[in-house]
Amino acid sequence: MLPACQGETVKTKVLVLGAGMAGISAARSLNQSGLTDFVILEGTGRIGGRILSMQFGGKTIDIGPNWVHGISDDNPVWAMVKSYNMAGIVSTLDSIKVRNSSGHDVTSQWHTVLASLDEPSEAAYDLAVERNATGQPDMPLRAALKSCGWNPTSSMEKAVEYAIYDWPNAEEPDVTSLLRGELDPTTEMFGKSEYYITDPRGYVYIIERMAERFLTKNDQRLKLNKTITTVHWDYDGVTVTTKDGSSYTADFAIVTFSMGVLQSNSVEFVPGLPDWKREAISRVHMVSYTKIYLKFPSKFWDDDEYIVYVGEQKGYYTIWHNMEAEGLFPAGTNIILVTLVDEEARRVEAQSDEATQAEVMAVLRNMYGESIPDPTDILVTRWGQDPFFRGSYANWGVGIDDEELRKLQAPVAGRLFFAGDGTGLHYGYLQGAFFEGARVAGAIATCVRGGPCEEGYQPPRRGCTCPAADNFDSQATVDNGSCLYPTSGGDRIVPFSTSFYIMVVATFTFYLFKSLGWSLQLTG
């Protein structure tokens, strides 16, 4: 019989579970607040999470995030990229070549169809503004676009829709939120400009520099290769156990697992998370965005930054990125990137690289002819199959309102806090993870210093919120239509819902009696 695995036993004030952007941001904020008694537990052998830079074809490529979304000094990610003078270009779909399955240049048709989407897209945005202002419920982006006149049927229309909606959201408009998608606070705050990182240090450089500010070399507060298996929590604190048998106890823990990991139940919470927390987590979509890098002996594709393939199947190897476009890698690099999302991404992640290469080459030969060479190397990302991530990034589905946001952000028992790219308004973005890490670290630091402590989610109290009503409830935050108002005669006016019910019952009774041939005398 093998002996039980014996690991270390550590007691600290705060445990940070995960060393991605949210985890490093949280630890940085704790340190800045003077709370230095913390330990970061990371399951992999590195920091960065889904920010991962590596070598391919003689160049540094990023297989996780590539863009800075929002070129604004108010964006902390852009501020870091700018301060470190990281190489890259402002990337747009303006430099584009569009080819169909016969290889013909159909770029002019693309621009015509793209222009036809302008009016429905603007109308959908206006609809989102109106519904949000008047408190109307959310709806799928697809329904909004359809009601505004956009109903794609041709291959070109579907390709345009894919590029504008499916590709950035990694999901179809059918399941994307109108309110959250169209009223995107990241775009509102930081603008639509995007910066594509090509720096030889890799995008991961910004998080490495963040960590260097508060972690020394071989700092014992950072524990790598610590696969978390169980999180025990109660109102007194948190104990985390790892695969190697180690045990870590703290007053507070910050959980920065991806939504995919939280939804997979690969980490056991004891006791289980409350229903309100589990239900909120389950409503966030962990999407798949798969990159396929290809290295060729020579370049044979168009010089534009983006190349779009318009085939019969929507999303089938549609968006290509020419890594030799102006401002990216130098000529002779011979690398091209194609991305897949949603179901196609998951399908390709599950198959062999050989099968994927065969599909890729069939598409490229449709566009550029049979004589083009085979690639000398291929790299396929598989974030969805990685047990430490189980997906690429978070996208909010229909109906995640402010109350659901409160549930996502609320701690459990005042001890277990949650932060990541799926728990805040800037969901799916790197700066979203940064903000969320800082938010929960600030809440914990405030509590430790003797300030107010966040205890957990409390459902809104429903009742009469009008002070003039007889049954005014000063503690109610949501009016439930139950207010009773006094009249000059001393009687009370019942709420509309009650009076309507009485009217319906009276009417039904009257006609029932009448149909039976009975006479009914009403007296006042």
Q: How do residues 164-190 score in pLDDT, each as one tens digit? A: 999 999 999 999 999 999 999 999 999
Structure pTM?
0.88
Residues 56-82: pLDDT tens digits?
A: 999 999 999 999 999 999 999 999 999
CA angle, 415 then 417 then 418, to 5° = 160
pLDDT band at 199 (very low <50, low <70, confident <90, very high): very high
pLDDT at 6: 72
> Which residues, 6+ apart, have CB-to-CB distance to 427 below 8 Å?
180, 284, 394, 395, 396, 421
Pull the structure tokens for residue 459: 């459902």
> Which residues, 6+ apart, have CB-to-CB distance to 375 below 8 Å?
294, 295, 296, 357, 360, 361
Architecture of domain 84-197+289-385: Alpha-Beta Complex (3.90)
pLDDT at 472: 84
Query: How remote is the C-alpha of 90 from its chain's centroid?
Result: 23
Domain definitions of the chain by residue range: 9-51+204-285+392-448, 84-197+289-385, 465-515
pLDDT average, residue stretch 262-291: 97
Query: Given the structure tokens 């991530």, which residue do they identify?
Result: 389
What is the chain's alpha carbon radius of gyration, rounded to the nearest angstrom? 28
Look at phi and psi of residue 172 and say left if phi exceeds 0, alpha if psi is from -120 to 50, else beta: beta
pLDDT band at 485 (very low <50, low <70, confident <90, very high): confident
pLDDT at 461: 76
Rounded CA-CA distance 511/520 in Å is: 10
For the domain with range 9-51+204-285+392-448, which CATH number is right: 3.50.50.60, 3.40.50.300, 3.30.70.1170, 3.40.190.10? Answer: 3.50.50.60
What b/e sequence results for 366-399 when a residue is b if at least 16 CB atoms lie within 10 Å of its CB, and e otherwise? bbeeeeeeebeebbbbbbbebebbbbbbbbbbbe
> Which residues, 6+ apart, have CB-to-CB distance to 149 below 8 Å?
119, 120, 123
- Same fold for the domain at 9-51+204-285+392-448 and the one at 84-197+289-385? no
What b/e sequence results for 196-216 when a residue is b if at least 16 CB atoms lie within 10 Å of its CB, and e otherwise? bbbbeebbbbbbbebbeebbe
pLDDT band at 460 (very low <50, low <70, confident <90, very high): confident
Residues 202-234: pLDDT tens digits?
A: 999 999 999 999 999 999 999 999 999 999 999
pLDDT band at 139 (very low <50, low <70, confident <90, very high): very high
pLDDT at 500: 45
pLDDT band at 145 (very low <50, low <70, confident <90, very high): very high
Task: Write the DSSP assignment of 129-185 as a string of letters.
Answer: HHHHHTTPPP-BHHHHHHHTT----SHHHHHHHIIIIIHHHTS-TTTSBHHHHHT-H
Query: How remote is the C-alpha of 166 from its chain's centroid?
Result: 14
Q: Does 15 have pLDDT greater than 70?
A: yes
Q: Does 16 have pLDDT greater than 70?
A: yes
Higher pLDDT, 3 or 395: 395
pLDDT at 495: 56
Rounded CA-CA distance 43/56 in Å is: 24
Higher pLDDT, 294 or 472: 294
Q: In percent, how much of the chain has pLDDT > 70?
A: 92
Residues 316-363: pLDDT tens digits?
A: 999 999 999 999 999 999 999 999 999 999 999 999 999 999 999 999
Average model confidence (pLDDT) for the chain? 93
Containing H/E element for 122? helix 107-133
Residues 26-36: pLDDT tens digits?
A: 999 999 999 99
Q: Does 284 have pLDDT greater than 60?
A: yes
Residues 362-409: pLDDT tens digits?
A: 999 999 999 999 999 999 999 999 999 999 999 999 999 999 999 999
Pull the structure tokens for residue 119: 């009016």
| Residues 452, 446 contacting (CB under 8 angstroms) | yes
Residues pairing with 195 in the sheet: 68, 90
Q: In percent, how much of the chain has pLDDT > 90?
A: 85
Rounded CA-CA distance 191/389 in Å is: 28
Q: Does 524 have pLDDT greater than 60?
A: no
pLDDT at 494: 52
